[in-house]
């Protein structure tokens, strides 16, 4: 049995290791086009590598995947964050949990993860070949260019266009790739001077999608978990609109517009002489409240002014014009169409013997370690099944 894994990122390396673990006699060759393996792991999580997320219920876990969640339910019953933690622990790498659920190596260094994976691959006898110039994958399972005949191919080329082209040539459909996980540019935002101010819970809305969570005002627009999640769920719509559209912010998502208005009215009755900006009625960050509240005494505020304020706090419109990468981290929405892959084995339903793992598939998660978990899970299943299922050729 000769298995060729193409792509030496998290998914490819994990698949190669899994194949060797499952079938030590199999010849497993890992082809990488660059001169290094795991280059994204190295820079991930700000150099700390957010390996996975401490969410151990597959049903809840899949809620973090704008694309691929449904398909990953079965795979997560077989290899989920708990398995990732145990796998690394068995190799002497302990992961720690941060308050928000993200998990990192206790060394806070992505190099720990790289060293672990590479030493495991070496120990098991994975043959690693760098700077590989593959021209084509042919149906007879010949890696053209490097001229390697093989029984199984695991395609783990991430978001590379070549990987998508080969999958297409072998009969697959590619959902067109567009960026996911970014922050919103709002050049006309009057809040830019409040850069760094964060709101614990706001609701962001674009046509067809809304997202609630912490929001950060930046010097170019909006960031923070709510903005990043919205960019992931709305990745396709945002791309179609050229990243130019109206974004509405509900600054008080626990209250209806009517409730907000009532609270303002009650304050006007109770403290007519007080200045509205000094009365932080809704516990918003002080500076933010001051930009919203007209600088008047409550008595001098008309009912229509209070109505307008309630409306603004409930649905505050901003014109998005462009996007910015968040801490250089991004993933691709799009890739190999999921209906064409058997998620029990990660094998192609169209081209037997061809397997997929990682971001080459139309799967992407929000930030928090979910994208690597996809790589570990699909890599593990692809490697194990490629090594143990009978040869189709
Ligand atoms: C800056 C940054 C930080 C990130 N941080 C995190 C994080 O902390 N946690 C998290 O969960 N996710 C994070 N992500 C996302 C995560 O890195 C990816 O989801 C993950 O790396 C995907 O793994 P992969 O193996 O599928 O693809 P990749 O990591 O992209 O690996 C693909 C590999 O295939 C190789 N390749 C491509 N084409 C060919 C070819 N033609 N022939 C041979 N080889 C080829 C590439 O050189 C590469 O080595 C981050 C992403 C970025 C960009």
pLDDT tens for 168-185 read: 999 999 999 999 999 999
CA–CA separation, 88 vs 94, rounded Å? 7
Backbone angles phi, psi at 170, to 5 degrees: -90, 10
Is pLDDT of 393 > 80? no
Confidence at residue 136, expressed as pLDDT on a 0 to 100 scale? 85
Cβ of residue 362 lying under 6 Å from some atom of ligand 1: no
Going by pLDDT thresholds of 50, 70 and 90, the confidence category of residue 142 is confident
Confidence at residue 12, expressed as pLDDT on a 0 to 100 scale? 98
Is pLDDT of 144 > 80? no
Cβ of residue 358 lying under 6 Å from some atom of ligand 1: yes
Residue 390 DSSP symbol:
P
CA–CA separation, 157 vs 33, rounded Å? 9
Confidence at residue 391, expressed as pLDDT on a 0 to 100 scale? 59
Q: What is the mean pLDDT of residues 352-358?
A: 97
Cβ of residue 98 lying under 6 Å from some atom of ligand 1: no
Confidence at residue 206, expressed as pLDDT on a 0 to 100 scale? 97
CA–CA separation, 210 vs 111, rounded Å? 37
Look up tokens 């691709």; give the residue.
332
CA–CA separation, 310 vs 316, rounded Å? 10
Burial class of 238 by CB neighbour count within 10 A (0 to 12, 13 to 18, 19+): buried
Confidence at residue 392, expressed as pLDDT on a 0 to 100 scale? 54
Share of the chain above pLDDT 70, in %: 99
Look up tokens 């009969």; give the residue.
171
CA–CA separation, 355 vs 166, rounded Å? 12
Cβ of residue 11 lying under 6 Å from some atom of ligand 1: yes
What tens digit of pLDDT does each residue of 46-56 get?
999 999 999 99
Q: What is the mean pLDDT of residues 289-316?
A: 97
Is pLDDT of 145 > 90? no
Cβ of residue 136 lying under 6 Å from some atom of ligand 1: no
How far, in Å, is the centroid of ligand 1 from the Cα of 48?
15
359 touches 11 (CB < 8 A): yes
The overall average pLDDT reported for the chain is 95
Provide the token pair at 45.
Answer: 């999580």
What tens digit of pLDDT does each residue of 363-388 get?
999 999 999 999 999 999 999 999 99
Confidence at residue 280, expressed as pLDDT on a 0 to 100 scale? 93
Q: What is the mean pLDDT of residues 67-85?
A: 98
More confident residue, 325 or 284: 284
Is pLDDT of 10 > 60? yes
Look up tokens 């990243």; give the residue.
243
CA–CA separation, 51 vs 107, rounded Å? 12
Cβ of residue 217 lying under 6 Å from some atom of ligand 1: no
Cβ of residue 160 lying under 6 Å from some atom of ligand 1: yes
pTM to 2 decimal places: 0.94
CA–CA separation, 24 vs 272, rounded Å? 80
How far, in Å, is the centroid of ligand 1 from the Cα of 155?
13
Share of the chain above pLDDT 90, in %: 93
Confidence at residue 143, expressed as pLDDT on a 0 to 100 scale? 82
What tens digit of pLDDT does each residue of 17-45 get?
999 999 999 999 999 999 999 999 999 99
CA nearest neighbour of 368 among 47, 49, 112, 71: 49
Q: Which atom of ligand 1 is nearest to the CA of 37?
A: 49
Q: Which atom of ligand 1 is nearest to the CA of 34?
A: 47
Q: How many CB atoms lie within 10 A of CB 252?
A: 21
Indicate which residue's Cα is closest to atom 53 of ligand 1.
329
How far, in Å, is the centroid of ligand 1 from the Cα of 319?
32
Indicate which residue's Cα is closest to atom 20 of ligand 1.
372
Q: Tell me the best of 158, 334, 335, 375 to mutate to test the pocket of ligand 1, counting ligand atoms within 8 Å of each CB and taking the most.
A: 158
374 touches 10 (CB < 8 A): no
Cβ of residue 40 lying under 6 Å from some atom of ligand 1: yes
The domains of the chain are located at: 2-178+329-388, 182-325
What is the homologous superfamily of the domain 2-178+329-388 according to CATH? FAD/NAD(P)-binding domain (3.50.50.60)
């Amino acid at each position: 049995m000769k298995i060729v894994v193409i792509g030496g990122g998290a998914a490819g390396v994990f698949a190669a290791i899994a194949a060797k673990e499952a079938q030590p006699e199999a010849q497993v060759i890992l082809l990488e086009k660059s001169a290094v393996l795991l280059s994204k792991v190295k820079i991930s999580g700000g150099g700390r590598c957010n390996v996975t997320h401490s969410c151990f219920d597959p049903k809840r876990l899949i809620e973090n995947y704008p694309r691929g969640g449904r398909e990953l339910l079965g795979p997560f019953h077989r290899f989920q964050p708990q398995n990732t933690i145990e796998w690394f622990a068995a190799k002497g790498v302990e992961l720690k949990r941060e308050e928000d659920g993200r998990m990192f190596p206790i060394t806070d260094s992505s190099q720990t993860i790289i060293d672990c994976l590479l030493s495991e691959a070496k120990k098991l006898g994975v043959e690693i070949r760098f700077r590989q110039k593959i021209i084509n994958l042919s149906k007879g399972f010949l890696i053209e260019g490097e001229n390697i005949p093989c029984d199984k191919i695991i395609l783990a080329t991430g978001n590379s266009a070549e990987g998508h082209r080969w999958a297409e040539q072998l009969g697959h459909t590619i959902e067109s790739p567009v960026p996911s996980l970014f922050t919103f540019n709002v050049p006309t935002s009057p809040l830019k001077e409040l850069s760094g101010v964060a709101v614990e819970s706001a609701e962001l809305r674009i046509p067809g999608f809304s997202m609630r969570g912490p929001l950060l005002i930046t010097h170019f627009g909006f960031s923070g978990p709510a903005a990043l999640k919205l960019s992931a769920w709305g990745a396709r719509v945002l791309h179609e609109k050229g990243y130019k559209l109206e974004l509405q912010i509900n600054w008080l998502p626990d209250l209806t517009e009517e409730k907000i208005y009532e609270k303002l009215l009650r304050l006007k009755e109770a403290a007519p002489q007080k200045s509205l900006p000094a009365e932080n009625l809704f516990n918003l960050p002080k500076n933010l409240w001051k930009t919203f509240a007209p600088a008047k005494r409550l008595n001098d505020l008309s009912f229509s002014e209070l109505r307008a304020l309630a409306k603004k706090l409930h649905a505050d419109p901003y014109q998005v014009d462009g996007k910015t990468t968040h801490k250089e981290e991004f993933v691709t929405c799009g890739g190999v169409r999921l209906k064409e892959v058997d998620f029990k084995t990660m094998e192609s339903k169209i081209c037997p013997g061809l397997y997929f793992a990682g971001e080459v598939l139309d799967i992407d998660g929000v930030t928090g370690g979910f994208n690597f978990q996809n790589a570990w899970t699909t890599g593990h299943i692809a490697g194990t099944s490629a090594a143990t299922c009978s040869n189709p050729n």
